[in-house]
Amino acid sequence: MYCKNCGKEINNDVEFCPYCGTSTNEKTNLTNQNTNPSDTGSAGWAVLGFFVPLVGLILYLVWRETEPKNAKMAGKGALISAIIYVSLIIILLICGIITAFLLPYLLPILFPNGL
């Protein structure tokens, strides 16, 4: 490849141009240039993702490339929300199963005279 600063041919493996010292790592430069000023990683996106997990998920997918910090926050909020929802469903299921198992024993206590 050729140095983008001085134009001399240089080895692909080197990180800096041996002639002028310019970094040859274009990925690093591109990442810095592409940093979006609105990509603040605000906790507000996590809150939004928490209360509206679907929006958080969509924002995460849309922003993954352009605003990775905001995407991470929105995705994190949605994930925490999803974990809490799933936990609640599991707890309710366990309560339901326990109740179903105990019902034959509970019924005579609750309704001693029969239903």
Chain positions contacting Zn ion, by CB under 5 A = 3, 5-6, 17, 19-20, 22
| Closer CB to Zn ion, 12 or 113, in the complex | 12
| Closer CB to Zn ion, 16 or 85, in the complex | 16
In whole angstroms, what separates CA 55 from the centre of its chain?
12
| Closer CB to Zn ion, 19 or 51, in the complex | 19
Token readout for 48 is: 């939004």
| Closer CB to Zn ion, 5 or 66, in the complex | 5
**Closest distance between Zn ion and the C-beta of residue 18, in Å?**
8
**Closest distance between Zn ion and the C-beta of residue 4, in Å?**
8
DSSP structure class, residue 90: H
- CB of 31 within 8 A of CB of 38? no
**Closest distance between Zn ion and the C-beta of residue 35, in Å?**
24
3-state DSSP assignment of residue 111: coil
3-state DSSP assignment of residue 4: coil
**Closest distance between Zn ion and the C-beta of residue 14, in Å?**
10
In whole angstroms, what separates CA 70 from the centre of its chain?
9
